[in-house]
Amino acid sequence: MAELSETLKNLPELPGVYIMKDSDGEVIYVGKAKILKNRVRSYFQYREDRDAKTLKLVSNVESIEYIVTHTEEEALILENTLIKKHKPKYNILLKDDKTYPYIKITTQEEFPRIEITRQVKNDGAKYFGSFVNVSAVRESLDLLRRLFPIRTCRRQISSDQKKHRPCLYYHIGLCSAPCAGKISKEEYGELVKNAISFLEGRHDDVIKRLNEEMNKFAEELQFEKAAVLRDRIKSINELYKKQAVYSLKFEERDVIGVYANTYHHAVTVLSVRDGRLVGKRSFVLEGTGMLQPAEIIESFLVQYYDQGSKIPKEIAVQYEPEYIEAISKILSEKRGSKVYLIVPKRGVKADLIDMAAQNAREELELYNRKVLAEQAKSKEVLKKLQESLQLEKTPSVIEAYDVSNTGSTEIVASMVVFRDGKPDKQNYRRFKMKVITEQNDYGSMQETILRRFNRYLSGSSDEAFSVLPDLILIDGGAQHANVVKEVLDDLGIEVPVWGMAKDDRHRSHRLVNGVTGIYLNKDKDILRFIASIQNEAHRYAVAYNKVLRKKRIQSSALDSIPGVGPVRKKSLLKTFGSVKKIKEASVEDIAKVAGIGPKLAEQIKHSLALSGNVD
């Protein structure tokens, strides 16, 4: 702790970000501060009102690093970047929206297309969303294509190319067939423009433009085209009637409400466009019950609008965040114009805040009902597992282990924890072998178990090692279970051990303990549960093996070359993307990288050729 005390003494009186790490060097919390010295020291001062989460955090802090920034805005942005990178267990973590669908219009193309995607890229396209329910998105997309028949195919189209035959979508009214010349580039551009306005909630603008187009076609005696637009206007008006009006000033804003129980917070975002409520998104932030609502709002704002969500001109929030001016400045820069953060106390905006908070409450209650249902099912499975294995008590805490290696290198093991039938990812741990240096699954498993339970016997403060599990599961057969039992017997620890054996098709098959075994196909619930544990242990071990293998290959291949230091290595990897691509590049291309030159490029090419296969 001497290092920690020294850091606390020398903290600067400047804004910045602090990074707290545990005894394993894992980042467990990232925070920002207007004055680093005051904020970080406050964690280690005695206070009667200190909440349990902070006490737990401080008890696990072994070292602190900090990064000084010029402004509070820089600190906010850096904090968000580091939280996304490290995913510290004591931070508020907003789930990454990459799992949610977006509607994308490829406006960077001459004839844009529309599609559903789960990735937001900086490619010049327009993205709308994200949305929670993919089936609802498909229905919306179908409706949108009936109103504005934009193509979905990836066919390369230009206005001067040979015409194609129109596909089925043209004949059923879902595409205007620009590939077949059935619509001009200008008319197609109007379709796209109206679709974008519609998705942005600007229905009045769409209707106005469609009316102008309809009247123009009517004047030109193109009655068929005018009729198509008339029907489009009618459809939009029917949809529009169903939306409540919350302002006659046609404003755009997001309204954010919060609701909390003892354990979690829920946050709901209501989107108002053209004065009408057009969308809702809700999130449950697990394990944040002891935090203040203003803290939740602050972290939520930065993370939510950093995930591609459209930033409106005004954002109404239920509680005022501490860094309200800094957040407003960051969002204004992202939007390209002023963004106003307000905390309404009365009127229509306050009513909308109440509605958002009520929706957050409904979301949290729904979440709790789901959790209770899942817990009941998990208890039933655990009870059946207890009976099948004839355990003395229900296995509420299960630890599972698997070994992964690349021959005699990157020999690693995983420890995954299931608590009350659910993955407890905060307590997953991984091991890199120190004693075992050759491929030896039995020896690697014994070293892993010895190190894990020695940590328990030494009174480790790490939550993952400080308690005994009710059941240990090992990826492997009876022999694997037996070698683990030997270690536990030597340590004087009594925990039931079973091996998760697989069949010839590498599927979860039996549980064995060296004396007896049970076939898993007799109970589908137990089979699914054991298979999920076995797959998770395997996934976590293989992921760590890949990280170490990539690190070894890249470091040995480049770092051993004379004249290639950290700066040149960074330039090479930035230019080519990987060591493998550097190896495949010509001497001339390598020599073009800043600071390399022909002579060193020749040396790099020669050294990589001798280094063998690289990823």
Task: For residues 546 and 551, give the distance between their C-alpha atoms in angstroms, rounded to a whole number.
Answer: 8
Residue 6: pLDDT band (50, 70, 90) is confident
Same domain, 419 and 542: yes
**73 and 128 part of one domain:** no
- Tell me what percent of the residues of the chain surpass a pLDDT of 70: 90
Residue 226 buriedness (CB in 10 A; 0-12 / 13-18 / 19+) = middle
pLDDT number for residue 220: 83
- Average pLDDT, integer, range 5-13: 86
The DSSP letter of residue 23 is T
Overall average pLDDT of the 180-184 stretch: 88
Assign 236 a pLDDT band (cuts: 50, 70, 90): low
Q: Is the pLDDT of residue 339 over 90?
A: yes
Tally of CB atoms within 10 A around 144: 20
3-state SS class at 401: strand
Among 157-161, 185-189, 496-500, which is the least confidently predicted range? 157-161
Within a domain: 43: yes
Say if 237 falls within a structural domain: no
Pair (267, 356) in one structural domain:
yes
On whether both 568 and 484 belong to a single domain, the answer is: no
Q: Which residues contact 472 (CB under 8 A, 6 or more apart)?
A: 398, 399, 400, 401, 449, 484, 495, 496, 497, 498
* Average pLDDT rounded to a whole number, residues 421-443: 92
Residue 93 counted as domain residue: no
Q: Is residue 233 pLDDT above 90, yes or no?
A: no
Alpha carbon distance 473, 445 (integer Å)? 12
Q: What's 509's domain CATH number?
A: 3.30.420.340
Is 351 inside a domain boundary? yes
The span from the CA of 328 to the CA of 570, in Å, is: 35
* 480 occurs within a structural domain: yes
Residues 80 and 192 grouped into a single domain: no
Evaluate if residue 66 carries a pLDDT over 70: yes
pLDDT of residue 98: 46
Mean local confidence (pLDDT), 72-76: 86
Q: Are both 414 and 538 inside the same structural domain?
A: yes
Is residue 265 in a domain? yes
| Residues 357 and 408 grouped into a single domain | no
Q: Is residue 238 very low, low, confident or very high in pLDDT (cuts 50, 70, 90)?
A: low
502 or 158: whose pLDDT is higher?
Answer: 502
What is the residue range of 447's domain?
397-549
Q: Rounded CA gap, 355 and 346, in Å?
A: 13
The overall average pLDDT reported for the chain is: 85
Q: Can you tell me the mean pLDDT for 410-422?
A: 94
My answer on whether 154 and 16 are in the same domain is no
Name the domain count of the chain: 5
Q: 439 with 515, same domain?
A: yes
- 346 and 299 within one domain: yes
Is 47 part of a structural domain of the chain? yes
Instruction: Look at the block and give the residue holding tokens 């504005």.
Output: 148
- Residues whose CB is less than 8 angstroms from the CB of residue 313 and which lie 6 or more positions away in sequence, other chains included: 251, 252, 253, 335, 337, 338, 339, 340
* Domain stop point among 159, 182, 201: 201
Q: How confident is the model at residue 129 (pLDDT cuts 50, 70, 90)?
A: low
Does residue 585 fall inside a structural domain? yes
Domain boundary among 365, 389, 421: 365
pLDDT at 609: 80
Specify the CATH number for the domain of residue 573: 1.10.150.20
Instruction: Say if strands 27-33 and 276-285 run parallel, antiparallel, or are unpaired.
Output: unpaired
Q: Identify whether residues 277 and 360 lie together within a single domain.
A: yes
pLDDT digits (tens, 9 = 90+) for 458-500: 998 888 999 999 999 999 999 999 999 999 999 999 999 999 9
Whether 247 shows a pLDDT value over 60: the answer reads no
Choose among 274, 335, 267: nearest CA to 301: 267
Per-residue pLDDT, 613: 55
pLDDT value for 97 = 44
Same domain (yes/no): 543, 401: yes
User: Which of 201, 230, 262 is the last residue before a domain boundary?
Assistant: 201
CATH number of domain containing 335 = 3.30.420.10
The contacts found for 457-464 with CB under 8 angstroms, 24 or more apart, are 457/491, 457/493, 461/23, 461/59, 461/60, 462/22, 462/23, 462/24, 462/60, 463/60, 463/426, 463/427, 464/415, 464/417, 464/426, 464/427, 464/428, 464/429
